[in-house]
């Protein structure tokens, strides 16, 4: 499991994918989300601008990321 240290109240999903280099571009991040590759707290997440907060657990293409 990988941890992402949140320094603000939240981070948008598309921005997190770019920051962690899971997606190379914003367009690539949107495709990953639209294709249902992101599971947030056990549920598929299709909102590109979903606000991720501390405690959220994401599964993205086989990788688990916890927001701390």
User: Over its length of 68 residues, how does the chain's per-residue pLDDT go in tens digits?
Assistant: 999 999 999 999 999 999 999 999 999 999 999 999 999 999 999 999 999 999 999 999 999 999 99
Burial class (CB in 10 A: 0-12, 13-18, 19+), 17: buried
Residue 40 belongs to what H/E stretch? strand 38-40
pLDDT at site 43 = 97
Q: Which two tokens stand for residue 27?
A: 């367009």
Report the CATH number at residue 14: 3.10.290.10
Q: How many domains does one find in the chain?
A: 1
User: What is the domain extent for residue 20?
Assistant: 2-67
CA distance 59 to 20: 13
């Amino acid at each position: 499991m990988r941890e992402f240290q949140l320094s603000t109240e939240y981070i948008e999903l598309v921005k997190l994918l770019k920051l962690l280099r899971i997606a190379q571009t914003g367009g690539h991040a949107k495709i990953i989300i639209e294709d249902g590759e992101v599971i947030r707290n056990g549920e598929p997440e299709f909102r590109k601008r979903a606000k991720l907060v501390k405690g959220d657990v994401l599964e993205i293409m086989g990788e688990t990321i916890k927001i701390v």
